[in-house]
């Protein structure tokens, strides 16, 4: 839908809907149904990079049980996965493969940068073979800080992602990427250069932060 | 197990004319090692592996070390007695000589014996220099476990292993230039701000985010009288 649609004010309030549900009448909208189903079946890609992946595996086991949130099905193929959990240090040599995996995932797809390394390079940021954050090349939905984050933090990140998905609009300018035609779902894969990846970042998803002037 | 000196003597008896010396470790670990010349390294390695009393059948570790060119200043005291008065104390002249120790690359191998449960026996190989003669004989044909580790030393230090079956980069990508673990490696200038820099990173912080000029002195405001 191209024209602006202002939603009419809800004629049925939340309490009235709850009252009707108790009587066996379910009121919903297509958008609610869509985002509800979408947010409770986020299947992650079975993909780990470093020590954060151990915490991700722990989150999927019985004690933390990621299945409570509908994400127990770790898919071994990117064609069947909805969520890319970048769990660990992304080396410059590995970065093109991570971006290829992202490109092979069908929409709707989401990305969680798990841990300090995936966010910014972490303690290895100034290393000669370490990418300074995966958000330079692919759009990241949720950042989970920690070194590594506890499984509870990953579960919290997943719940935050579910809330984000539930806030999606099906139409209009706020619609997510996969429901629009004007935003590409694939990211260009960088080439290996003589010292760094070329280009070193994807300008469509990342711009350099403003320079920080030291106070001291 | 035999000491490195005993192994050296046995090797010299077996391979006359081979360049073998013992490099002592002055540290508390006192892990002395053998330094092998390139000419006999392969034959000596096979001997160490097959000798019935040593039988060093496992090479657990291959490491590279970069020794850049170093200027060494040696101080010598030259005493010349006074020819007129031999009883007088001689005049002592301190003479400093500078010499340039050429740089080289070193490869260290750690050997163990699974059969006899002893080890490690450590030996080293050195390259002629750090540029065009950076070669040592590969010992992958003797110990298969050297293959990836020699590739790593080749990748990060630039030592060419002659006789290696598959000498390619292993950690960096094939298009990468230079060898990042060498001491004179200059990495691309892509520094970004980080909250707690220290050491060499702090120097980069100062270069990239210089201290702004101090603000003009502001006259202190007197507190209003109560």
Q: How many inter-chain contacts (A to B, CB under 8 Å) are there?
A: 46
Q: Which of A126, A194, A211 sits opposite B175 (nearest CB)?
A: A194
Select the residue from B170, B179, B192 to test the A interface by mutation, using most A Cβ atoms within 10 A.
B192
- A46-50, A148-152, B27-31, B218-222: which range is least confident on average? B218-222
Q: B107-131, pLDDT tens digit by residue?
A: 999 999 999 999 899 999 999 888 8
Domains of chain A in start order, with CATH, are: 43-171 (3.40.50.12280)
Q: What is the pLDDT of residues B154-195, one digit of tens each?
A: 999 999 999 999 999 999 999 998 999 999 888 888 888 777
pLDDT value of residue B75: 85
**Strands annotated E in chain B:** 20-23, 33-36, 58-67, 70-80, 91-101, 104-113, 118-126, 135-137, 160-162
More confident residue, B45 or B1: B45
Per CB-CB distance under 8 Å, the chain B contacts of A132 are: 190, 192
**Residue among B185, B191, B212 minimizing CB distance to A126:** B191
How many Cβ atoms are within 10 Å of B65's Cβ, its own excluded? Answer: 15
* pLDDT for res A111: 94
- Sort out which chain B residues have CB atoms less than 8 A from A196's CB and list them: 188, 190
Asked whether B58 and B111 are in contact (CB, 8 A), the reply is yes
B207: confidence class by pLDDT, cuts 50, 70, 90? confident
Query: Using the beta-carbon criterion (under 8 Å), do A213 and B209 form an inter-chain contact?
Result: yes
What separation in angstroms does the CA of B17 have from each of A94, B11, B21, B37? 48, 10, 12, 10
Q: Given pLDDT bands bounded at 50, 70 and 90, which one contains residue B20? A: very high
**ipTM value:** 0.75
> What Cα–Cα distance (Å) separates residue A158 from each residue in A85, A134, A152, A184, B106?
10, 18, 10, 24, 50
Instruction: Name the residue among A129, A195, A212 with its Cβ closest to that of B177.
Output: A195
Asked if pLDDT for residue B211 goes beyond 80, the answer is no
Task: Identify the band that residue A44 occupies on the pLDDT scale cut at 50, 70 and 90.
Answer: very high
**Residue % of chain A over a pLDDT of 70:** 93
CB contact under 8 A, A192 and B174: yes
Q: Which residue of A has its CA nearest to B172?
A: A93
Average per-residue pLDDT for chain A: 88
Identify whether the C-beta of residue A172 lies closer than 8 Å to the C-beta of residue A102. Answer: no
Other C-beta atoms closer than 10 Å to the C-beta of B136 total 24
**B chain contacts of residue A194, beta-carbon cutoff 8 Å:** 175-177
Token duo for residue B201? 């990173």
Kindly determine whether residue B209 and residue A211, on different chains, have CB atoms separated by under 8 Å: yes
Residues of A in contact with B176 (CB under 8 A): 192, 194-195
DSSP structural state of residue A212? P
Query: pLDDT category, B88, cuts 50, 70, 90?
Result: confident
The distance between the two most distant Cα atoms of chain B, rounded to a whole number of Å, is 99
A93/B173 touch (CB, cutoff 8 Å), yes or no: yes
Contact B171 A200 (CB under 8 A): no
pLDDT exceeds 50 at position A1: no
pLDDT at residue A138 is higher than 50 = yes
**pLDDT tens digits, residue range A144-187?**
999 999 999 999 999 999 999 998 888 877 788 888 877 777 88
Indicate the domain borders of chain B.
4-208
Nearest by CB to residue A216, choosing from B178, B191, B211, is B211
Distance, in Å, from the CA atom of A205 to the CA atom of A185, rounded to the nearest integer, reads: 11
DSSP H/E element including A85: strand A83-87
Q: Considering the domain B4-208 in this protein, what is its CATH number?
A: 3.30.460.80
Residues of B in contact with A92 (CB under 8 A): 173
């Amino acid at each position: 839908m191209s024209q602006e649609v202002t939603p009419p004010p809800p004629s049925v309030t939340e309490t009235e809907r709850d009252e009707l549900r108790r009587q066996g009448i379910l009121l919903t909208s297509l958008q609610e149904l869509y985002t509800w189903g979408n947010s409770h079946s986020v299947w992650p890609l079975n993909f780990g990079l470093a020590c954060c992946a151990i915490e991700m595996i722990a989150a999927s086991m019985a004690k933390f049980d990621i299945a409570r949130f509908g994400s127990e099905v770790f898919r071994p193929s990117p064609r069947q996965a909805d969520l890319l959990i970048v769990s660990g240090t992304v080396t410059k040599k590995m970065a093109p493969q991570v971006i290829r995996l992202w490109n092979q995932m069908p929409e709707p797809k989401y990305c969680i940068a798990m841990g300090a390394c995936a966010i910014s390079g972490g303690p290895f940021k100034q290393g000669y073979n370490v990418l300074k954050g995966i958000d330079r090349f692919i759009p990241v939905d949720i950042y989970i800080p920690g070194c590594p984050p506890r499984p509870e933090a990953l579960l919290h990140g997943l719940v935050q992602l579910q809330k984000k998905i539930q806030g999606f609009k099906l139409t209009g300018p706020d619609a997510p990427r996969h429901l629009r035609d004007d935003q590409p779902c694939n990211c260009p894969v960088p080439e290996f250069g003589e010292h760094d990846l070329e280009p070193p970042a994807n300008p469509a998803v990342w711009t350099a932060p403003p320079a920080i002037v030291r106070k001291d | 197990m035999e000491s490195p000196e005993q192994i050296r003597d046995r090797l010299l008896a077996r391979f006359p004319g081979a360049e073998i010396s013992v490099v002592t470790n002055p540290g508390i670990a006192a892990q002395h090692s053998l330094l092998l010349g390139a000419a006999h390294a392969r034959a000596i390695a096979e001997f160490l592996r097959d000798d019935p009393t040593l039988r060093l059948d496992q090479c657990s570790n291959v490491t590279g070390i970069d020794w850049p060119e170093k200027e060494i200043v040696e101080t010598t005291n030259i005493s010349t007695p006074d020819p007129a008065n031999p009883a007088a104390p001689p005049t002592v002249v301190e003479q400093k000589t500078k010499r340039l120790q050429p740089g080289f690359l070193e490869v260290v191998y750690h050997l163990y014996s699974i059969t006899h449960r002893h080890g490690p026996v450590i030996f080293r190989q050195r390259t002629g220099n750090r540029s065009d003669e950076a070669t040592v004989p590969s010992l992958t044909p003797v110990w298969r476990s050297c293959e990836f580790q020699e590739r790593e030393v080749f990748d990060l230090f630039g030592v060419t292993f002659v006789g290696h079956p598959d000498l390619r980069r292993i950690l960096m990508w094939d298009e990468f230039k230079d060898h990042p673990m060498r001491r004179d490696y200059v990495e691309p200038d892509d520094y970004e701000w980080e909250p707690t820099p220290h050491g060499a990173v702090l120097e980069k912080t100062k270069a990239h985010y210089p201290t702004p000029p101090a603000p003009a002195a502001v006259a202190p405001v007197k507190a209003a009288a109560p």
